[in-house]
Chain A
Amino acid sequence: RKEVEQDPGPFNVPEGATVAFNCTYSNSASQSFFWYRQDCRKEPKLLMSVYSSGNEDGRFTAQLNRASQYISLLIRDSKLSDSATYLCVTRSGGSYIPTFGRGTSLIVHP
Chain B
Amino acid sequence: DADVTQTPRNRITKTGKRIMLECSQTKGHDRMYWYRQDPGLGLRLIYYSFDVKDINKGEISDGYSVSRQAQAKFSLSLESAIPNQTALYFCATSDPLGGVANEQYFGPGTRLTVT
Contact = CB atoms under 8 A, between A and B. Distances in A.
Interface string A81-110: 000000101010000111011110000000
Interface of B: 31, 40-43, 45, 48, 50, 58, 88, 90, 94, 96, 100-104, 106-109
Contacts, number: 45
Interface of A: 8, 32, 34, 36, 41-46, 49, 87, 89, 91, 96-98, 100-103
A89 to B, nearest CB: 8
B104 A44 contact: yes
Contact of A8 (B40, B102, B104): B40
Given A42-B109, A43-B107, A96 B102 contact: yes
A55 to B, nearest CB: 12
A25 to B, nearest CB: 13
B89 to A, nearest CB: 11
A91 B88 CA distance: 23
Contacts of A32: 101-102
B50 A96 contact: yes
Contacts of B103: 34, 46
B9 to A, nearest CB: 11
B96 A96 contact: yes
B43 A44 contact: yes
